Structures are given as structure tokens and as C-alpha cells.
């Protein structure tokens, strides 16, 4: 939830009440434990005249239904503008729900104000309070505890987030990553029933984001916190979350564990967002014919619209080509392989990544696709260098880096 901590007034007025304080337990037992979102719609803008609504405005969330059981971390994943932050804000009570319901432990939260929901909220920027030291920031939401219990909780959480001994440090002396760790500890201090994190790592550089994503996962596990984590980065989502919910244009496309989501995207749109780089009619590829024909619900389907989705590391260079230039990029060296023209190469992540132009099966011969292939056994070039630009190579999909999806 929104955390505000303005500096104390000159008149000596007390600081505002702590919005992180968890309310008394619900007097009505819920049928289902944890968070339940049912057919939620969030709209912005819109107007009408004479009581008639002529402009419905913009629909940011279009009928989303999902559950988050206690102790689970769910990532809301999708491109900018897909509605994931709007959904998070609706759960927090910061945005009105046009229709549908948000419930906790079976109790509808309609009409429950933000500060009474018992949810914590962490933003991109830590929004730390500059007039307080690290310990003072972490302790902000638990001021009502006895001092010994408060100090013990602060010490515990600073250790959890990797900042043991930082309590007396001024926040101005902290790095960006350290500030986010303090913000996380502050959000966890009141033991929120649900922690909502809105792109908390996006303002950090790539290497730091990767390290903090691991630390965030461990902190949430160590504290048994139920959480919803918004991100546009699928690597972050896969690192932090138990399950990932992919959103696009306000709708929920698929919810699955990171492994199941990667191995069985429900659609081409999901696969595209996850970074799959090309799509080939499955019946035209040996790799496509070899992979399991199953839908996102793990049930067999007829395969009439199956596509082989080639992942970012799902194409390999398997040999040099003797094909002439006249044959073009669509020439084949045998079953399951295609002739490609090298555009360039770079050594990265322990392998030579070769950029190639290749006409994919079923595609227009005059419109080659530009893809990345890994240098594989039998490929030209050494382990630390690729073939020269203009060279002809054979490439083939690696089933381990591909998936069959519905078109």
C-alpha cells in the first residue's frame, strides 16, 4: 500500500498513522484462503451526458480471474500498457474496480480502504524517508510494537535482505540496490497479508537486477510472504515467482509455473513475449514433428494450427554449406536443416552466437528471417569465433530450445 512519511512538522504534530499496519483478522471466515480475483475490470476516463455514458473510456483490465494461495509468489508479466500495474493497484484498493471482485480469504474487499486491507506495496523507487536512518525506515510501519520487539524485527529483516549492521546508516549514503533492499525490509516489517511489488527492480542496471531478483526470491521464501510481483522482464518473473501470469491488452493469456510456461506457451503471442524468435509450421519441421503435441491445459489437440516456436537458443549451426549463392537461403542440406547466410557473430554467454538470414519452411523465398543460431558441434569456426559474414552454413532447430504452440 502507499507509504507516506513526510518530515515531522515544525509545530511538533505527530507523524501520520502507519498505513502498513495489518488490520484485525476478518471476523467472517473465508471459503478460500489467500487472494481471489474474479472477472475484474478496470477502466480509466470516460464521460457521458444527461446520465448516459457515451464514452466508456479505456479498459485497462478486461475481466481477469486468478488466485494466489497463501505463501505463493505470483508474477504478473507482460509488455508496458498491458494492464498488469492497473490490476495490482485494483488489488491494493488504489484503483476502483468497474466490475468483478477482489477478495481475501473469501471476504469481498469492496469498500475496504487501502490502509485497512493489510497489504504492503513496494514501488520502482524505494521512496525511503531521507530524515530517517535505515533502521528508522524499516521500523516505520511497526511503531506500535514495544521497542525491544521492534528492534528485533528490524535486525531480523536487515539480515534477511543482506544489510546486517546497516541500521544506523543514512539512506543518502546507500546505493540504488541497497535502497531497494531497505524498501523491501520496510514492506515486510508489518508482516503484510499480501505484498504487492510494482516493477521494484526496473530502475536498476541489468547485473544488479539479476542479483537482486535472486535475493528477493530468497527473502520472500524466508518470510513465507504471499506476493504479487509485476514485471515486464520474463527472466525476473522466472527467477522470483512460483507461477507466472502473462497479460496482454488487459487480458490474462496464461498462468503456469515458469518451467511449464517456457516449455508449453499457450499461444504464439505468449511465445513471442517470452522471446521465441521464429515460428514454422510444425509439420514442415522434423523438430516440430518430434515434440509433444499438447496444449496449455496438457490435453491433446488435433494440431491443425501447430507452429514450431524457435527459442532464443533453439537454433544451431550444424555444419558448413556447399550451396551456391544461386540456391538462396532456402536451400536444404537434408531433413530438418536449412541453408543460411551468415550476417555476423559475437561470443556471449559461453557460446558463439551467429546471426543468420534464412528462409524458413513455408515462408516467401524473397523474405528471409534474421535469426540467431548457436555455434554447435560440427559448425565452422572455433569455440571463440564464428564463421565470416557471407559464409553459408547449415542450421537446424534444437528441440530442447523449441516448443510447439497454437497459431
By three-state DSSP, how is residue 17 classified? coil
Question: What are the pLDDT digits (tens) for 65-102?
Answer: 999 999 999 999 999 999 999 999 999 999 999 999 99
Question: What are the pLDDT digits (tens) for 227-269?
Answer: 999 999 999 999 999 999 999 999 999 999 999 999 999 999 9
Question: What are the pLDDT digits (tens) for 333-383?
Answer: 455 789 999 999 888 777 789 999 998 887 888 889 999 999 865 444 444
pLDDT band at 286 (very low <50, low <70, confident <90, very high): low
By three-state DSSP, how is residue 21 classified? coil
Beta carbons of 187 and 196 less than 8 angstroms apart: no
Q: Is 35-248 a domain of CATH 3.40.50.150?
A: no
Q: Three cell numbers at 55?
A: 464514452
* β-bridge partners, 194: 119
Question: What are the pLDDT digits (tens) for 181-219?
Answer: 999 999 999 999 999 999 988 888 888 888 999 999 999
Mean pLDDT of 276-298: 66
Place of cell 472477472: 39
Which of 98, 110, 115 lies closest to 36, judged by CA? 110
How is the chain split into domains, by residue range?
35-248, 306-406
Q: Buried b vs exposed e over 312-334: b needs ≥16 C-beta within 10 Å?
A: ebbbbbbbbbebeeeebbbbebe
What was the pLDDT predicted at 26? 43
pLDDT band at 13 (very low <50, low <70, confident <90, very high): very low
Among positive and negative, which fits the CA dihedral 314, 201, 120, 113? Answer: negative
What was the pLDDT predicted at 288? 55
Question: What are the pLDDT digits (tens) for 309-332?
Answer: 999 989 999 887 654 443 444 444
pTM (two decimals): 0.80
Residue 94: count other Cβ atoms within 10 Å of its Cβ: 15
**CA angle (280 as vertex; 388, 324 as ends), nearest 5:** 35
Amino acid at each position: 500500500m502507499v507509504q507516506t512519511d513526510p518530515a515531522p512538522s515544525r509545530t511538533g504534530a505527530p507523524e501520520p498513522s502507519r498505513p502498513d499496519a495489518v488490520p484485525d483478522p476478518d471476523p467472517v471466515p473465508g471459503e478460500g484462503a489467500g487472494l481471489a480475483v474474479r472477472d475484474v475490470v478496470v477502466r480509466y476516463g470516460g464521460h457521458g451526458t444527461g446520465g448516459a455514458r457515451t464514452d466508456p473510456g479505456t479498459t485497462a483490465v478486461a475481466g481477469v480471474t486468478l488466485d494466489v494461495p497463501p505463501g505463493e509468489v505470483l508474477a504478473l508479466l507482460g509488455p508496458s500498457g498491458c494492464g498488469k500495474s492497473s490490476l495490482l493497484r485494483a488489488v491494493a484498493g488504489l484503483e476502483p474496480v468497474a466490475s468483478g471482485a477482489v477478495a481475501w480469504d473469501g471476504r469481498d474487499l469492496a469498500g475496504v480502504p487501502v490502509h485497512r486491507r493489510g497489504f504492503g506495496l513496494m514501488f520502482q523507487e524505494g521512496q525511503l524517508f531521507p530524515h530517517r536512518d535505515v533502521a528508522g525506515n524499516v521500523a516505520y510501519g511497526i511503531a506500535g510494537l514495544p521497542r525491544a520487539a521492534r528492534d528485533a524485527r528490524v535486525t531480523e529483516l536487515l539480515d534477511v535482505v543482506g544489510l546486517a549492521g546497516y541500521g544506523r546508516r543514512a539512506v543518502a549514503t546507500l546505493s540504488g540496490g541497497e535502497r531497494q533492499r531497505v524498501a523491501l525490509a520496510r514492506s515486510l516489517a508489518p508482516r503484510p497479508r499480501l505484498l504487492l511489488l510494482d516493477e521494484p527492480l526496473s530502475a536498476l542496471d541489468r547485473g544488479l537486477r539479476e542479483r537482486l531478483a535472486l535475493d528477493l526470491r530468497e527473502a520472500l521464501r524466508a518470510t513465507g510472504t504471499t506476493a504479487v510481483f509485476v514485471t515486464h522482464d520474463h527472466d525476473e518473473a522466472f527467477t522470483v515467482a512460483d507461477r507466472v501470469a502473462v497479460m496482454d491488452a488487459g487480458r490474462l493469456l496464461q498462468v503456469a509455473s515458469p518451467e511449464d510456461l517456457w516449455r508449453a506457451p499457450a499461444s504464439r503471442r505468449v511465445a513471442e513475449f517470452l522471446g521465441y524468435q521464429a515460428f514454422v509450421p510444425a509439420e514442415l519441421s522434423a523438430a516440430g514433428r518430434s515434440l509433444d503435441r499438447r496444449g496449455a491445459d496438457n490435453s491433446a489437440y488435433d494440431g491443425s494450427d501447430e507452429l514450431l516456436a524457435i527459442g532464443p537458443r533453439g537454433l544451431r549451426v550444424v555444419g558448413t554449406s556447399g550451396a551456391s549463392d544461386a540456391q538462396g537461403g532456402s536451400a536444404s542440406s537434408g531433413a530438418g536443416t536449412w541453408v543460411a547466410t551468415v550476417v555476423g557473430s559475437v561470443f556471449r554467454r559461453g557460446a558463439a552466437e551467429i546471426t543468420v538470414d534464412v528462409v524458413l519452411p513455408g515462408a516467401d523465398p524473397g523474405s528471409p528471417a534474421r535469426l540467431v543460431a548457436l555455434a554447435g558441434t560440427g559448425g565452422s569456426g572455433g569455440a571463440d569465433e564464428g564463421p565470416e559474414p557471407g559464409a553459408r552454413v547449415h542450421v537446424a532447430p534444437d528441440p530442447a530450445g523449441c516448443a510447439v504452440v497454437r497459431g
